[in-house]
Amino acid sequence: MTEQPLIAVLDYGIGNLRSAQKALQRCGADARLTVDHGLIADADAVVLPGVGAFGACMAALRDADLEDSVEEAVDSGRPFLGICVGMQMLFDSSEEDDSAVGLGVIPGTIRWLGSELPRPQMQWNLLTLNLSDDQMFVGLSSEAWVYFVHSLHAVPEDHAVIAATCTYGGVVNAAFRYGNVFATQFHPEKSGSWGISLLGNFVRIAAGATKP
């Protein structure tokens, strides 16, 4: 088992990617912002953060020549974490930008939150854990509060992949498990002790991962 797992944080120039890197380092990982294909291939785990607009993030990821690296990391079976718009990018498409094509890792669509409440949801919210036995939720209490900043959420074709939800004018899908991929609409790096617990679980999973 690797004591300090190497985690590649994909650096495609959008938003404050360093905050995710620093949070993972705090949890004991050798987390590196990178566009280096070799380092990404050698990493024990890979993280795709993201903030802003779906279409702009997809364009930036492709301009950085990282789309194939995402696909290879997912296909390898290594632990993979998508955060916020990084989570949204794993889906097929988004109502935010009909012309943008997502990565298609998780079948489904990103849809607008209901208009009866302010958008974006910019607040702490309580998670309901659908997959409470998932390794990513080890040590999280049934009252885990996490921080959201978003106007859209993911609606997968298979609702069995929804790992957690919250309530904001109705049920909002907040986290997903799809094989070796875990993805969150909320920002664990901004979610205090609950977020650090979740990222710590990801680091421990990465430390026990066996690369092909």
User: Which residue numbers are catalytic?
Assistant: 84, 187, 189
CB-CB neighbours of 142 under 10 Å: 9
**What are the b/e assignments for 94-129, b being 16+ CB within 10 Å?**
bebbeebebbebbebbbbebeeeeeeebeeebebeb
Name every residue whose Cβ is closer than 8 Å to that of residue 60 and which is 6 or more positions away in sequence. Answer: 12, 13, 14
Phi, psi of 39 (to 5 degrees): -65, -40
What distance, in Å, lies between the first and last C-alpha atoms of the chain? 14
Name the residue among 50, 79, 91 with its Cα closest to residue 181: 79
